Amino acid sequence: MFTLNRSVFIWGGVLLLVLALLAKFTLAGGPGMTVAEARTAAQAYTSARIYRDEWGMPHISGERDADTAFGLGYAHAEDDWETIQTTLVAARGQLARYQGADAAPTDYIVQLLRIRELVSARYESDLSDETRALIEAYADGLNLYAAENPWSVWSDALPVTGEDIVAGFVLRTPFMYGLDADLAELFADERQRTISMRDTASAFQWLEEARLPFGSNAFAIAPSFSDDGATRLIINSHQPYEGPVAWYEAHLRSGEGWNMVGGTFPGAPLILHGHSENLGWAHTVNLPDLADIYVLETEGDRYLLDGEWRDLERGEARLNVRIFGSLRWTVSEDMWWSEHGPVVRTDHGDYAIRYSGMEEIRQVEQWYRMNRAGNFAEWMEAMEMGAISSLNAVYADRFGEIAYLFNAAMPVREEGWNWREYLPGDRSELIWQDYHPISAMPLYHNPDAGWLLSANQTPFDATVIAENLNPERFSATFGIEPRMTNRAHRGLELLRSERGLSAERLEAIKFDRAYSEVSAVGRLVREILAMDFSSDPQLLEAQRLLGRWDMSTDVDSRAAALGVLTAVRCIGNRHHRDPWLMDPATALSEAAAELMTHYGRLDPQWGEVNRMVRGDVDMPLGGGPDVMRAVYGANDGLDADGRIRAVAGDTYIMSVEWLADGSMTSRSIHQYGTATMDEASPHFDDQAVLFAEEAWRDLALDWSEQGYSPLDQ
């Protein structure tokens, strides 16, 4: 995407020797905050308590919401300070200072998008007092842990501030809908798209490349569709197993009425999706068109707009880059902005980008209001803020209400343009200013069918066919995706065949491991079966094996390895239509050769190949790419030892039900455990076996243990 001028890093042999000697005597600075300073700030949260259950999951309480947020910061830091620190420093635009030149592009983007300036300008005015108190309490919890453990803290990384927390949300949120892909495209060697002309072409066309390789599932079941009158919600996000968007489980409760359990990300002071005693929601990724790229006509540092030449605003990114040991070098890179937004200047053109949420810092405020909602009306009021730029939300509550909102902060754009292409940059009427209200977005609320499914598909196919929303009701400028994942095909097929759905049957559908016949994998297999391999005995055998495949990825399947290894070469971990990424015959040949090399046969059991590997755990794993039991490997083939190690897909899963008698039950499972980065902890891998076996842990929203206070540590 972005390459530093590496000439500044070319050192002669003598200079390297001098630097090496200097490094021995260069002391790294301290973390930037003393224990005494951190403990003084922490005295404001004396009621915070952390109780850890047998799985190490933190149940955190406090008299006020802020006390509880302080406890969350401390507990999460105990379990994964390394990832939290990286996330917060990245949002400062200072990651290269600690991780070297490879992190410089991230720092450049943070500065180009002016994230820190935006947060600084709006932190006091846009966020409520209650939200700032929550954020700052969480930061104080992080600071206390980090100051007490200075050996794990980068020099001058402390103190963490409330603005750091908000900046993390501002940086991360637009990447959920693919802003990173748009930015990367602009730094490519050649122009990637055509320039839109004014026309009436529909934006409901197939996306040639889905931007995100992973997805999520969410089920909402109303009492009318349950065999026992229960309302059920399954939260099943598909994320990487590690890193800044890997789930962390916590339970938060305060004397002010906050009571949420669910998943959060490093650097987030609340639950991002989960449930309270009254309601819950799940997020799934959606891909509306929320970023626009404009081709500028430039002359030097001027650009043409409405027939007049205007000056590009120019700035300088200051990238402090770690060179060797504790030695750093500051590199300057030019930045520009136009009236449209940030500008990227390349050999193939000058481009401006405008994206949803580019002046929004209230994401954490909206999630906080969602956490505190007591019913659907209050939850929808929070959603109407429109601060969370994208992400579907599937909702259920104890009162029997269910909903599926295609959430998007959708720009109000001029009709008649193909906004998925590049736009001419010389017309000010194409520089949108406002957003549609959430009420303009696709919404299902209490459908007569009694169920809703979101599996990263188009929102126009989410329940029984008769109740699906009509895409013609929505403007083509929204760019709502038409894609259908295998998970959507398969889930809809299964749910549409049910009457009086039991809890056990819903669980079986959630863990279903098969490909639909109408999915991309189904189409691929049919193409291969129609080919003539009579001249190649091995490919003929492989073809016959696929002909016997029941499309399942059960651990004992003898055809899944060949089928999946062929499919990922042609489809990737995405949802492409034709043309395939690789010729199907070539993909089949490569997959067959790979299996023969490592197993001496085309039909090893899928469980031999597909593995859950974590700490002392090394187990067969059912599921595969884009099945309901989603499992993704690190690449499109086998590892050096001939196996696929799961690195993403099903991660933190929750199942909550509000029964007809008014009681509630809740269960969850995490792919690894609470201490995701601490190999010495028993909770580094203590849930991996349960996860591989598709088992659950029971959760409770009430407990009597007092736990420990961070101030007593």
- Nearest-10 crossing angle of helices 503-510, 486-496: 160
- 443-460 pLDDT, tens per residue? 999 999 999 999 999 999
Query: Given this model, what pLDDT does residue 403 score?
Result: 98
Query: Given this model, what pLDDT does residue 701 score?
Result: 80
Query: Given this model, what pLDDT does residue 17 score?
Result: 34
Residues of the chain with pLDDT under 70: 1-29, 194, 196-214, 573-578, 713
What are the residue ranges of helices labelled H in 514-632?
520-529, 537-547, 560-571, 584-599, 606-609
Structural domain boundaries of the chain? 216-282+368-410+436-510, 520-699
How is residue 564 written in tokens?
Answer: 């999946």
702: buried, middle or exposed (CB in 10 Å: 19+, 13-18, 0-12)? exposed
The DSSP 8-state label assigned to residue 315 in this structure reads: E
Beta pairing partners, 656: 233, 666
User: Can you give the C-alpha Rg of the chain in angstroms?
Assistant: 26
DSSP per residue over 36-103, as a string? Answer: HHHHHHHGGGTT-EEEE-TT--EEEEESSHHHHHHHHHHHHHHHHHHHHHHHHHHHHT-THHHH-GGG
Say how far apart CA 251 and CA 293 lie, in whole Å: 41
How many CA atoms lie less than 13 Å away from 572 in the CB half-sphere? 16
Query: Given this model, what pLDDT does residue 24 score?
Result: 38
Helix (H, G, I), strand (E, B) or coil at 125: helix
Query: Given this model, what pLDDT does residue 578 score?
Result: 62
Query: Given this model, what pLDDT does residue 13 score?
Result: 36
Is there a contact between 392 and 441 (Cβ–Cβ < 8 Å)?
no
Q: What is the CATH number of domain 216-282+368-410+436-510?
A: 3.60.20.10
216-282+368-410+436-510 and 520-699 agree in CATH topology: no
Say how far apart CA 629 and CA 626 lie, in whole Å: 8
Among 354, 341, 342, 343, residue whose Cα is nearest residue 290: 354
Amino acid at 184: A
Say how far apart CA 237 and CA 87 lie, in whole Å: 20
Query: Given this model, what pLDDT does residue 386 score?
Result: 97
- The CATH fold of domain 520-699: 1.10.1400
Q: Model's pTM, two decimal places?
A: 0.92
Cα–Cα distances in Å, from 579 out to 45, 118, 582? 58, 42, 8
Say how far apart CA 414 and CA 340 lie, in whole Å: 15
Query: Given this model, what pLDDT does residue 12 score?
Result: 35
